Every structure is written in structure tokens, then in C-alpha cells.
Chains A and B, each alone.
Chain A
Amino acid sequence: MLFLALRNLLRRRLRSGLTALGVAIGTAAFLVIVTTVDGLLLEAQEGVDALGTDISLVQAGATVPWLSHLSPADLDRIALLPGVSVATPVVVGLTRLDARSRFIVFGVAPDSQLMRRAEIVDGRPPASGNEIVIGAFAAGRLGLVPGDRVELMRRELDVVGIYRTGRALLDAGAIVDIPLAQALFNLGDRVSLVFLDLRDPANAAALLETIATEMPELDAAASDVFTDSIQRIGMVRQYGRQMAVLAFLIAALGVCNTLAMNLSERTREIAILRAIGWRRWRIAATVVMETLLLVAIGVALSLPLSELTLAALNGQDSLGFVPSDVPSAALPGGVVLAAVTGFLLSLIPLVHSLRVRTAVALRS
């Protein structure tokens, strides 16, 4: 059966190739979207983890940190929370340095613990005034070195250093002093979020409850779930998954159409096999095997295609969110989706081959 299925596929090489390519593109689209979205969320999560904080606080309802505004009054109340050893205010703003790149600017006090956790690999940390340090990823992409000047929000800033945290989210951005960040993003005396370091991290859960009860105007989260609050991670992931499945289904419909055309042209062939004594199930198994082979080839092709696409996206990615390759965790989803779709697609030839009326097909 395998031999005959292969021969059938090879008889129309172009059509078979395009069909497999359709499966490959659909699967690759799924993998790339899932990988990109997951990569974005993972980098955001790990970026926060890299700061080493226990609890993060943003304005209630803010979907992204640059839309969160905390007033000095909020900061005063936060400072009075029990068990807090350090409260670090941070300004987060999203901007762009050139036409195609956008990156996050962090406003952090130069003497803060957060700033100390960023390794300065060239130059020095920013002092007050118009000084900025650039993340290693962004500096490499934009060709910036200490001593350069950059224009940010129509303001000339001196690049005084390059830092590295090891997290793409942070290394794709820049850090300035808080007052400068507030001025750049017109925040007045407000900040975007506050990171809390606790004397005893084991008390995080109790403190979260206190904040939820007493400070409903704030969203607080342990840093390991911080991204849930800043990016509505579940929603983003779900949206990404839906888009990925949609992209896959669009490709699958094209494949489905080709398979249906293929079969209608082969009705007589199926009838001939029946006439010479082939049982229905054997014919059905052969045509189903053809479909599954096409899907398998498509899935195999989808992996290098995904890698190529990710590499291309990675080259254009100014925030460093796009992983350079498909993580192994994303593969099962893609393969399962392709397998299920392959099974569903194979139902078309299966039903068709079972329904062929031998005598009618031979007469036509």
C-alpha cells in the first residue's frame, strides 16, 4: 500500500509538492506564531525575574506597564507596607530610535538595586541629566557605543554606557534616570510601576492579600506571575493560539481543496481497483495513506521553514522577543495539530473512496 501510495503521489509531482508545501506553510505559520508569542511572553517573564524582585505593583487595569501610572501618594502608601525592605519605582516607556525599531526605555534611579543588577559592559552607569545607557542587544543592532548621542522623543541624549542583563526584553532597551524618563514620557511626577523586595520572600502571599484588600487601585503580583498582570498573558497567549490555528486552517482548506480535486479525477481509478477485486477498505487505506504521507512530508518541511521564518523575523526584531529557533515545547502542539488535521483531511478521500459506485464510474 505504501508503495502504491508513493507512486500515486509521484505521478503528479507538482501537485503533490504544492499540497505538501501547503501543509508545511500552515504548520510553519502555527509554529512561528506560537513561538513568537510565547517567546515574547517568556522574555517578559524572565526579564522581570532577572530583576530579582519579589512583588510588582502597577495601576489597576493597566494592560501594559507603559500605560500604568502611579502617583507619589501611591508610592508613599506602598512604602508603608509591612515587610518591605526596598521599594523601587520604575518608569517604563515605549518609543523608537529609528523608523523601524522600537524599544523600551526604563527609568531607574542610578543608585537603585535594579541598576546595580545590570552589568555595565562598556562605559559607566547613567548619572542625572541627559545620560542614557543602552542595552547590549539594542547597542549592537543600532551600532551605538559610549560617546555617541541619540535623539529620543526629540531630545538629545548622551550614550554613556552599554549594559547587559542576559534578558532580551531588558537588553533590547535603554535605561535613564527616573526624572529624565518622566520628562521624556510626560509623566510629571508619576512612575509606571514599583518593584518590592521583601525582607522575607515567604511573606509575599500575605502581602499580596493585604494589597488586594487595602489598595484596590493597584494590581500586585508576585514577580513570577508579573507578566500576567502587565500583559494579560493569558489573553495574549490565547489570541496567539487562535491566530496560529486560523493560519493553519486557511492552509488546510487549500490542501483540502486540492485533495478533493485529486479524488474526483481518480473516481474511475478507484472503480477499476474495485472491479479487479480490491476491497473498499484497502482502497480507502491507500488513499488515506497518501494524504497522511503528504501531511507527514509537510510537517517535516515545516520545521526548516519555521526556522527560516524565525531567523528572518529575528533579524527585524528590535525588542529581541523573537526566538531564533522553534522551542521543543512548541513542537508537540504543531505536530498534534497537523496530525489531527491530517486525519480529518484523510476523511475526504476515505469517504469518497467508499462511496464510489463502481459500475457508474466505469461507464462514465
Chain B
Amino acid sequence: MEPFIKIKSIATPLDKVNVDTDQIIPKQFLKLVQKTGFGQYLFYDWRYEKDGSAKKDFVLNDPRYRDSKILLARNNFGCGSSREHAAWALLDFGFRTVLSTSFADIFYNNCFKNGILPIKVNEQVLQKLFESRSEIEIDLEKQTITNDGVVISFDIEPHWKKILLEGLDDIALTLQYNNEISKYENAQSNSSLRVS
């Protein structure tokens, strides 16, 4: 996984609450068996007309945001289906961070697993960022968001911070605890209350 240290870019404002993962990546694109190539289908139904041409009024088609790495979203972003394809599509399109007032739990987790930093901010901060036209800098080490000379700090769970900064493989981390897992399994299999 590519580490996340610091990024700076213009932010893409997606002004809509309760955006579900069915919108982020519609079901017809879940049949691929790899993790790459989903960016072209990101927000497909909102992004394209029936004939495949780009919808002019959809923010992802606005040339001003072409090189954006930051997505600004509204409350309860990523709700619904657990499909990790949503995170893969955002990453493949070029987004490395999403800012919102809240995220759905499974989506939030899926972001970190793919090197995307989801940041929870309060309503006022989010509104300011939506209104700003200038670049935003996200510094994970310092846990800061900088925009128009204003520095705002954000919270992140320490384990996610470490995993993102170092681009760690969660499975390799867990396998360090192989002895503990085996111990748990042995206790289970010797118990009269085993479930296997």
C-alpha cells in the first residue's frame, strides 16, 4: 500500500448528503476480479448521460477539479453496501482523502485499508472548505488541514495513522500475533463449549 504522508491539491466539492456506495460504484461494475481500473466507473450514473457522454453539471466533469486528490463530501458518506470497490474507484480516480462530517462504518474502514485517509470534521469547518476555492494541504504526521492560511487539526485513531504513514500490510501485522491466535484456538478446541 502506498504510504500517506502529506498531500496538497484543490478539493472536489460533492454537495450531497447520504451518498451510498451504490452511487460511488454502481453494481454493474462489481464483476471485475481485480482491484484496479474502477476509476473510470466512479459515480457512473451521475457522471455520464445514457449515450456515454459526460454530464456537464456533475462536479467530477468540471475541468477545474481535474487534478484534485481531495473529495469534500456531506454527512453519512459511503453508506449502504460493504463493496470495497467504492474505495478502489476513489483511489483509482486519484482521490487520496475524503472529508466529511461523518462516514458509514464499513466504508470508513475500507478507505484506510487502501491508503485513503477519511477525515471527520465539524459542520463549520466542512462548510468553510466547501466555500473555499484555494488548495488544501493535508499533513497526516501533524494531523492538520491547511486552507487559506488557516490551520485546523483533526483526529485519527493511532493505529490507522501508523498504518497509513508507513503503508503497512495489516495481515503481516496480525501474523506477528500468531502465538496468541493459536493459544485462543487451543483453548477453544479444548472447551466443552467449542462451536466447531
- Say whether A associates with B: no
Residues of B within 8 A of A (CB): none
Residues of A within 8 A of B (CB): none
